Structure 1
Amino acid sequence: MDTQEVRTGEEVDRGAVENYIRETFKDFPGPPLQIRQFGAGHSNLTYELSSGSWEAVLRRPPKGPLPPKAHDMEREYNVLKAIHPFFPLAPEPLAFEEGKVLDKPFFLMERKYGIVYDTQWPENITPSVELAQDISREMVDRLVELHSIDYKETDFKHIARPEGFMKRQVEGWIKRFDKAHTSDVEEGVELKEWLLDNIPEDGESTIIHYDYKLNNAIFSKEDPSQMIGLFDWEMTTVGDPLADVGAAMSYWMEAGDPKELKEGLGQPPLTTEKGFYTREEFMERYAEKSGRDLKDMNFYLAFAYFKLAGIVQQIYYRYKQGQTDDPRFQHMNHFVNKLVSQAARQAGINERLY
């Protein structure tokens, strides 16, 4: 994964972090701590820490005030502790710090090396239809693998509340969207009513990643179609596996998608390139490998686009409130409107185009 110099305004106190590491890890060597930042991502801040042969990744919330229950580092750390023994693609968690060292809590996890597919083919990778197909297949199969884990055999059994999961999700994300609403974003009144009226009945519950997308995975340098790591477990919980599929599809852009949708978070993702599965192909393979019935996927897809609109709107709201001046966030209201429109279209609502 590529790193860069730490962005202005997102620095961490090097001395404080180094002192904490020296006290926490007895194998920490003598050389001064080096800190670089991972460039991807629009939410939590992630840094590479190194000193000689010692390496780790530090993950912390963004600067400024945060929505309630968002960016919960202790929860994500505990999720990794629970899932790593059963799903080694999840990084091994190393330590959690409750907020006495920096201005916010953070946790440390293992550093994984490999290839991240984002918006452009990485150097030293020869693009091909076959490779795109293989990567797509791997993405589906690893999601099926995650959903096959019996959460009752893990520590998730202590935090799971699967009953009423989708009802809580729909109601919760409507509240979050409304709380972060700004005047330059449409309200999607009819869409929200449709979502509330069409919540599926409770069914099977599994561990769900809930932020499953191509650039959250890392692939082997030796075999560029083999996933060796999966990151960003902040939203992970126990719930409806089809909600996880829907969320994954909201990020899985296709070549024929509207420009505003493909470029909402920057350059179009590689999934728009020739050879990558369409959303339909992804879901067909998921249904085949998992044995699950996807007859209600229109609901899950509509909700996924609305949920993503809520996530992006929370980021945009922070920008509008002056809590961040990151220029990437300046025009995110247009992406929010497009996502709401896409959700309405998926729901079959003839609401005016946003």
Structure 2
Amino acid sequence: MMDNPTAIRPGEELNQASLQTYLADNVPGFGVIESIGQFPGGYSNLTYFIRTSEREFVLRRPPFGAKDIKGGHDMGREFRVLTLLQQAGYHRIPEPVLYCDDESVIGSSFYVMVRVPGVILRAPSASKMSIAPNVMRRLSESLIDTLVDLHALDIHQTGLIGLGKPEGYIQRQVEGWHKRYVAAQTDDVPAMTSLARYLTDHLPAESQPTLLHNDFKYDNVVLNPDELSDIRAVLDWEMCTVGDPLMDVGTSLSYWSEMDDDGFRKSLNLSWLPGNLTRQEFARRYAERSGHDVSNLLYFYVFGLFKNAVVVQQIYSRYKKGLTSDPRFANLLTGVQALAQAGVKTLDSHSF
């Protein structure tokens, strides 16, 4: 379960000589690169491990062929989020080191941060894990409490309010993700059309804005290997912004698979393992700890399913266009269908 890098996937290598020159010139005490590996998890931005003679770093860059996705994979923005959080005194993040927008170095923009060692529970390894249910329960509670803590940050005093425009955020998100889906669509998925119509026709009133992580789940947190419920760092701030906190909760719930869910949904998270809170228990604990009204959470859960389906569709579209050859992407259309069908089922049953 340790978050260990592996060999770099073919076609996703970094120019080590160019990187060495640039980082040595711009990062005091950087040292000499001894090895570069790749963290195998995730379908979006690419994450690399850089070991030097002095320290251990992590580099993040956009996926190859992602320039056609407008507004996505913004490395500069993700680096800015980490910097603002650091300045705000939030310590559950990797220390940001450097952002580079000179694409001549490795072929894209990228940023570097200090590595936080620990455990990351990745969904593909769920069947091999033997975590006691009581440990899993404490961890799931800790994950929710960490989300509550993020939503409790004072976005005005810290300057985090500058990350977005909370007024009209829900409507912009619904419209924006629908447009992204249309732009990336490769096949007819009627359930996606139904969800887009529902989300547009039932826009809720907005509550007081908070910081939003927008991709909060198990494989985006680093855990203490000696006490798994101790969350050392929250990762992957690419989509962080400010807006209605239930948008964040809905996205997290849309990842929160349960034992009876289909195989694709269970592949997104390991929350189906024994001991985890259910989606209903997740919502109840969040409401109790945050004090936020969650009476309309079902809408945000459905939006989360729709948004995740669009992300999967975008990745599948890149594969169909030949912009990536990663074999993991070949059957992602079934994932789009599974998430969309889960949304339709939710609306029919009025239940998580």
Determine whether 1:232 maps to 2:236: yes
Asked if 1:294 is matched to 2:324, the reply is no
1:38-117 mapped onto 2 (5 Å cutoff): 38-66=39-67, 67-85=69-87, 86-98=89-101, 99-117=103-121
Aligned mates of 2:223, 2:289 — CA distance in 1: 21
Q: Distance in 2 between matches of 1:138 and 1:257?
A: 23
Rounded to whole Å, the distance in 2 between the matches of 1:73 and 1:333 is 27
Tell me what 2:329 maps to: 329
Say which SS state the counterpart of residue 272 (structure 1) adopts: coil
How far is 1:248 from its partner? 0.5
What is residue 215 of structure 1 aligned with on the other side?
A: 219
Deviations 1:289-336 (A, max 9, x none): 001111101100111100000000000000001000100000000110
1:247 paired residue among 236, 247, 251: 251
C-alpha deviation, 1:96, in angstroms = 0.5
Instruction: Find the residue that maps to 2:232 and give its secondary structure.
Output: strand
Query: Which ranges of structure 1 fall in alignment gaps of 5 or more residues?
Result: none
Deviation at 1:53, TM superposition (A): 2.9
Q: For each residue in 1:331-354, what CA deviation from the matched residue of structure 2 results, as whole angstroms up to 9, or x when unmatched?
A: 00011011111112222399xxxx
Tell me if the contact between 2:126 and 2:273 (Cα under 8 Å) persists in the aligned partners.
Answer: no
Q: CA deviation at 1:247?
A: 0.4
Show structure 2 runs of 5+ residues with no match: none
Partner of 1:155: 159
Partners of 1:330 and 1:245 in 2: CA distance: 29
Cα deviation, 1:141-176, whole Å, max 9, x if unaligned, reads 000000000111123233331000000000000000
Structure 1 residue 122: deviation in Å?
10
Query: Which of residues 22, 31, 36 in structure 2 aligns to 1:20?
Result: 22
Offset at 1:187? 6.1
1:158-169 matches, within 5 Å, as 158-169=162-173
> TM-score scaled by structure 2?
0.93
Give the stretch that moved more between structures: 41-50 or 51-60: 51-60
Output the CA distance in 2 between the equivalents of 1:13 and 1:226.
36
Q: CA deviation at 1:28?
A: 2.3
Once residues 122 and 87 of structure 1 are traced to their aligned partners in structure 2, the CA distance between those partners, rounded to angstroms, is 33
Residues 59-68 or 294-303, more deviating: 59-68
Opposite residue 38 of structure 1, the aligned amino acid is F
Q: Secondary structure at the match of 2:229?
A: coil
1:292 & 1:155 partners in 2: Cα distance?
22
Pairing 1:282-321 to 2, within 5 Å after superposition: 282-321=282-321
Opposite residue 301 of structure 1, the aligned amino acid is Y
Contact 2:175 2:200 in 1 (8 A): yes
Write out per-residue CA displacement over residues 32-90 of structure 1, whole angstroms, 9 at most, x where no aligned residue. 44111011011100001111232211000011243011101001110111112332112
Contact kept, 8 Å, 1:185 with 1:333, in 2: the verdict is no
* Structure 1 residue 138, shift from structure 2 partner: 0.4
1:196 shift after superposition: 0.4
Structure 2: how far apart are the matches of 1:160 and 1:188? Answer: 27
The one-letter code matched in structure 2 to 1:3 is P
Amino acid in the other structure paired with 1:302: V
After the TM superposition, which segments of 4 or more aligned residues of structure 1 sit over 6 Å from their partners? none
Q: CA deviation at 1:17?
A: 0.5
Native 8 Å contact 2:255 2:265 kept in 1: no
Q: Please tell me whether the aligned partners of residues 27 and 97 of structure 2 are also in contact (alpha carbons under 8 angstroms).
A: no
8 Å contact kept, 2:192–2:306: no
2:264 and 2:13 mapped to 1: Cα distance?
32
Do the aligned residues in 1 keep the contact of 2:30 with 2:55 (CA within 8 Å)?
yes
Distance 1:81 1:118 in 2: 26
AA matched with 1:75: R
- Structure 2 residue 18 is the aligned partner of structure 1 residue 3: no
Q: Aligned partners of 1:111 and 1:19: how far apart in 2?
A: 20
Separation of aligned partners in 1, 2:265 and 2:61: 28
Preserved contact between residue 121 and residue 127 of structure 1 (Cα < 8 Å) = no
TM-score, L = length of structure 1:
0.93
Alignment partners' CA distance in 1, 2:54 and 2:134: 37
Secondary structure at the aligned position of 1:90 is classed as coil
Determine if contact 1:118/1:215 at 8 Å carries over to the other structure. yes
Q: 1:183 Cα deviation (Å)?
A: 2.1
Identity level (%): 36
Over residues 264-313 of structure 1, what are the superposed CA-to-partner deviations in whole Å (9 max), with x where a residue is unaligned?
x5xxx321111111111111100000011111011001111000000000
> Retained in 2: the 8 A contact 1:37–1:46?
yes
Contact 1:14 1:33 in 2 (8 A): no
Q: State the number of aligned residues.
A: 344
